[in-house]
Amino acid sequence: MKLVAFVSDYRMPVDTLDRLKPEKLGIILVQNGVYHATTKENGNPSSLLNYSADYFVLQEDLETRGYTSSDVDSKVKVISLGDVVDLIFNDYEKTAWL
C-alpha cells in the first residue's frame, strides 16, 4: 500500500512507525512534528528522519513556531496545505495520523 503518515508531536507517544512497512511511505510533519525537521539535539538530527520515506513539512506550522525554510533539514520538503491535499489524493491511498 501507499501510506502517508502525519506526525504532529515532537515526543512520539507511539512507536507505530517502526512497524509500518508500506511499499511507499510519506511522512508529513505538522504542528509540533515540525521540530523533527528543524531541531538537532546534541548535534544529531531527529531519528524520525531515518525511515525510508519521503518527508514533508507544513510551512505555516514551521513559521508559527519561529522557523523558516532555511532551518529545515535537506531531506524534508517544505509544502503548503494545498500540497497536503494533493499528496493525499494523488500520491498515496491511505493515511495515518500517529
Partner 1 sequence: MATTKLGFVVQRPPYKSENPKLALTHAISSQSVEIYLEDGDLVTADIAFVGDGVLNCKKDQKAMEHYGLSSTESHIKMSLLLDLNVLVCKEDLERFGMTENDIVIDAEEFGADVEVKVVPYDEIAKMMEEMNHLLFF
Partner 2 sequence: MGKLTIGCFASLIGSMNLDFAVKLSGAALEKGHKVDLWVSGNATMLSIEKQREFKDYSSLEKPLKELMEKGLKVTACEACAEARGYHKENTMEGFQRFSMDWYLASIFDADRVLHIGGE
Query: For binding to partner 2 (CB under 8 A), which residues are involved?
Result: 6, 8-9, 30-31, 80-82, 84-86, 88-89, 94-95, 97
Question: Which CB sits closer to partner 1, 18 or 50?
Answer: 18
Question: Which CB sits closer to partner 1, 40 or 75?
Answer: 40
Number of CB atoms found within 10 A of residue 3's CB: 18
Rounded to 5°, angle at Cα 69 from 39 and 13: 40
Of partner 1, partner 2, none, which one does residue 91 interact with (CB within 5 to 8 Å by kind)?
Answer: none
Q: Is 83 in the site for partner 1 (CB under 8 A)?
A: no
Q: Is 40 in the site for partner 1 (CB under 8 A)?
A: yes
Least Cα distance to 81 among 66, 97, 59 occurs for: 59
CA-based max dimension of the chain: 38
Q: By the 8 A CB rule, do 35 and 7 touch?
A: no
Q: By the 8 A CB rule, do 32 and 9 touch?
A: yes
Binding region for partner 1 (CB under 8 A): 1, 3, 8-11, 13-16, 19-21, 31-32, 35, 39-43, 60-61, 63-68, 94-98
